[in-house]
């Protein structure tokens, strides 16, 4: 049901009003900063233009849902390798009218014709190499992004989808300055972008990398947004844009003499017309007096962060030494990942023991395996969620370690003046997705289906994440909203593939147990243990004085091997990129973006504190 609020700006024709405001705003009015404090609404996202778009919509009286759509659609222009209507994501929303948290599952689905052997090479009977699958039509899932926006705006918006797309359309038409991060992302992808005529024309004009500081325009995407604004999301889900998507997936726009021979996909217009973004109940756990709400399966974010918090609830971290806090953090995710891989998949296709995985009893069962004097040995076996807290986990075959080192995706957070909060993680999967731009439409298609397991695991354990027609691949995206006494106090989430879960958990521990400020909690060095022999860690984490003591407990660390971007941008190999908000009551807000990772993000508020 649509709930409209009256904007207090005195504009009566909303679309015209919004347009006037956007046209009146000086370009680049918002300086890029990682932290902003104030009132009236707040945004943190990957780029200045996207944060600015969100702030403008908020200033005009838009809700957090309106602004989130403005931010996400602008990221499709300014952060095109991790965002856009060719992808999908998970939208978590606190509605101040009902004091409740809701979620929308906008994850991509496999086309109906796909099946469990879609990633098995018929010539060899073996799984396709990951890189072969990434750059292909085969890996393109039915995009859920636009349907998510439509549903969010219908439910919570003050404006229409057309209004909320307008800032992005303008940025796409007028252009924005190329950053060194964007240039480096093109450089990393240059080989495969070069294989597709549509992709190279947009991102490698005349075969050259975009020049830092030059203007990048995307008139095709501006027209695509304008078409959607005029005709609605149906233009994509069954209409002309959808037809172009289907044509592209089948007839890949390869350049003459292309050296890659990518596989086409099976998507049909019926797959697009039948796509649904789903309202789902959020996951919920209590942690130290807070209510933590997050995304239920098809993402593993809410269950894995939630289970790890339940494990940690058995220890008084605030009273522990820093070494013991980190030891418990690493052991909790080691255990929770064993369970994630065994039990979590698309609930439309596999039975996920959701209640059991999130029960405090199961947390106790898993916590009792933790030895404060010695690290567990991975890969660990999953626990039995049906055994309650009855003793330590019985031994089962060991699960597979998770070694999935992604760096893409984006997370955005928005709070509005009405008390609503949005926490939205979305992605096209790999940096650059499938590498395929839809000709004439200006956006990249995802490669989300590579998030399925290509083949059953060698452990012989059942695998809830094998492909099937219509199924959603398991995600790690963990958009989270934390309430205290039914009021939102924190909203956070991150990019970074399977490390998203550990980044969100580590930030919660930093803020709640270690009492760091939110910006410090976001900036702190990260480590990610995912039931693997050694823990992936940032160099700054390894350099901390706690590391020798952790190593004495049997923890081992390896520097994260994130792709080698320009050192001036990344500073060092990093884990994840995060955006977060803190709400202090009486309308006071703090937005925190990354200060350094992936070139740093952009935080802003409508009325900055003096």
Q: Given the complex with ligand GLU, which of 60 and 427 has the nearer CB atom?
A: 427
Give CA–CA dist 607/605, Å, rounded: 6
Among 63, 103, 135, 409, the active-site one is 409
- Under the binding rule (CB under 6 A), the answer on residue 604 touching ligand GLU is no
- Under the binding rule (CB under 6 A), the answer on residue 453 touching ligand GLU is no
- Under the binding rule (CB under 6 A), the answer on residue 477 touching ligand GLU is yes
Among 345, 433, 497, 573, binds ligand GLU (CB under 6 A): 497
User: Which stretch in 36-44, 120-128, 471-479, 517-525 sits in contact with ligand GLU by CB under 6 A?
Assistant: 471-479
Count of other CB atoms within 10 angstroms of residue 227: 16
Among 195, 356, 475, 532, binds ligand GLU (CB under 6 A): 475
In which element (H, E) is residue 162 found? helix 161-174
Among 195, 476, 535, 577, binds ligand GLU (CB under 6 A): 476
Give CA–CA dist 377/356, Å, rounded: 24
User: Which stretch in 43-51, 349-357, 371-379, 491-499 sits in contact with ligand GLU by CB under 6 A?
Assistant: 491-499
Beta strands in 347-506 (DSSP E): 410-416, 421-427, 480-484, 487-495
| Cα within 13 Å of Cα(152), Cβ side | 36
Q: Given the complex with ligand GLU, which of 83 and 537 has the nearer CB atom?
A: 83
- Under the binding rule (CB under 6 A), the answer on residue 246 touching ligand GLU is no
- Under the binding rule (CB under 6 A), the answer on residue 433 touching ligand GLU is no
Residues with Cβ within 8 Å of residue 24, at least 6 apart in sequence: none
Q: Given the complex with ligand GLU, which of 108 and 416 has the nearer CB atom?
A: 108
Among 496, 519, 573, 599, binds ligand GLU (CB under 6 A): 496
Helix, strand, coil share of the chain (percent; to 5): 35, 20, 45
- Under the binding rule (CB under 6 A), the answer on residue 451 touching ligand GLU is yes
Strand partners, 526: none
Q: DSSP string covering 246-294, please?
A: HHHHHS--BPTT-S--PPP----HHHHHT---EEEPPEEEEETTEEEEE
Decide if 62 contacts 157 (C-beta within 8 A): yes
- Under the binding rule (CB under 6 A), the answer on residue 495 touching ligand GLU is yes
- Under the binding rule (CB under 6 A), the answer on residue 291 touching ligand GLU is no
User: Which stretch in 289-297, 437-445, 453-461, 490-498 sits in contact with ligand GLU by CB under 6 A?
Assistant: 490-498
27 φ/ψ angles, rounded to the nearest 5 degrees: -65, 140
Give CA–CA dist 575/407, Å, rounded: 8
Site string for ligand GLU, 378-417 (x = CB under 6 A): ----------------------------xxxx--------
Q: Binding residues for ligand GLU, how many (CB under 6 A)? A: 14
98 tagged catalytic: no
User: Which stretch in 200-208, 211-219, 494-502, 526-534 sits in contact with ligand GLU by CB under 6 A?
Assistant: 494-502
Q: Which of residues 54-73 bind ligand GLU (CB under 6 A)?
A: none
Residue 364 three-state SS: helix
Distance of CA 308 to the CA centre of its chain: 19
Q: How far is the CB of 185 from ligand GLU (least distance, A)?
A: 13
Q: How far is the CB of 267 from ligand GLU (least distance, A)?
A: 18
Strand partners, 577: 495
Helix (DSSP H) and strand (DSSP E) numbers for the chain: 20, 18
- Under the binding rule (CB under 6 A), the answer on residue 135 touching ligand GLU is no
The residues binding ligand GLU (CB under 6 A) are 406-409, 427, 429, 448, 451, 475-477, 495-497
Catalytic residue ranges:
409
């Amino acid at each position: 049901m649509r709930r409209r609020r009256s904007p207090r700006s005195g504009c009566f024709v909303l679309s015209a009003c919004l347009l006037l405001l956007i046209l009146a705003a000086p370009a680049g009015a918002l300086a890029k900063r990682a932290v902003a404090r104030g009132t009236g609404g707040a945004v943190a996202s990957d780029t200045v233009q996207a944060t600015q778009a969100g702030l403008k919509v908020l200033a005009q009286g838009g809700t957090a849902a309106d602004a989130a759509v403005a931010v996400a659609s602008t990221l499709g222009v300014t952060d095109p390798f991790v965002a856009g209507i060719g992808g999908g994501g998970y939208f978590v929303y606190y509605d101040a009218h009902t004091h409740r948290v809701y979620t929308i599952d906008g994850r991509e689905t496999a086309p109906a014709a796909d099946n469990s052997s879609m990633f098995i090479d018929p010539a060899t009977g073996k799984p396709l190499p990951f890189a072969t699958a990434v750059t292909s039509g085969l890996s393109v899932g039915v995009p859920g992004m636009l349907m998510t926006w439509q549903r969010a705006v219908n439910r919570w918006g003050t404006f229409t989808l057309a209004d909320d797309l307008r800032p992005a359309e303008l940025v796409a038409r007028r252009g924005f300055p190329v950053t060194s991060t964007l240039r480096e992302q093109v450089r990393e992808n240059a080989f495969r972008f070069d294989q597709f005529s549509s992709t190279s024309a947009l991102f490698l004009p005349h075969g050259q990398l975009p020049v830092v500081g030059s203007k990048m325009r995307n008139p095709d995407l501006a027209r695509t947004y304008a078409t959607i604004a005029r005709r609605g999301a149906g233009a994509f889900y069954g209409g002309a844009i959808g037809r172009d998507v289907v044509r592209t997936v089948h007839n890949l726009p390869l350049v003459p003499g292309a050296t890659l021979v990518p596989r086409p996909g099976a998507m049909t217009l019926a797959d697009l017309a039948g796509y649904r973004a789903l309202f789902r109940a959020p996951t919920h756990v209590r942690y130290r007096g807070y209510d933590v709400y997050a995304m239920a399966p098809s993402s593993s974010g809410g269950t894995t962060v939630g289970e790890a918090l339940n494990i940690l609830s058995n220890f008084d971290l605030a009273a522990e030494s820093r070494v013991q806090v980190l030891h418990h953090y690493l052991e909790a995710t080691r255990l929770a990942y064993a369970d994630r891989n065994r039990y979590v998949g698309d609930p439309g296709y596999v039975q996920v023991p959701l209640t059991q995985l999130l029960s405090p009893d199961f947390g106790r069962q898993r916590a009792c395996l933790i030895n404060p004097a010695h690290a567990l040995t991975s890969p660990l076996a999953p626990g039995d969620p049906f055994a309650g807290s009855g003793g330590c986990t019985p031994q089962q075959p060991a699960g597979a370690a998770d070694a999935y080192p992604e760096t893409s995706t984006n997370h955005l957070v928005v709070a509005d003046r009405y008390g609503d909060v949005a926490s939205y993680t979305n992605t096209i999967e790999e940096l650059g997705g499938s590498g395929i731009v839809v000709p004439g439409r200006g956006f990249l298609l995802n490669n989300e289906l590579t998030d399925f397991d290509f083949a059953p695991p060698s452990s012989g354990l059942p695998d809830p994440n094998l492909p099937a027609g219509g199924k959603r691949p398991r995600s790690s995206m963990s958009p989270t909203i934390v309430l205290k006494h039914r009021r939102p106090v924190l909203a956070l989430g991150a990019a970074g593939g399977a490390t998203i879960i550990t980044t969100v958990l580590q930030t919660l521990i930093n803020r709640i147990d270690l009492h760091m400020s939110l910006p410090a909690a976001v900036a702190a060095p990260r480590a990610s243990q995912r039931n693997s022999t050694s823990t992936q860690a940032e160099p700054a984490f390894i350099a901390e004085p706690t590391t020798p003591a952790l190593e004495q407990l049997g923890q081992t660390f390896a520097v994260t091997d994130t792709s080698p971007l320009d050192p001036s941008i990344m500073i060092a190999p990093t884990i994840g990129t995060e955006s977060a908000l803190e709400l202090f009551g009486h309308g006071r807000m703090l937005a925190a973006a990354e200060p350094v990772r992936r070139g740093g993000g952009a935080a802003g508020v409508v009325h900055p504190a003096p």
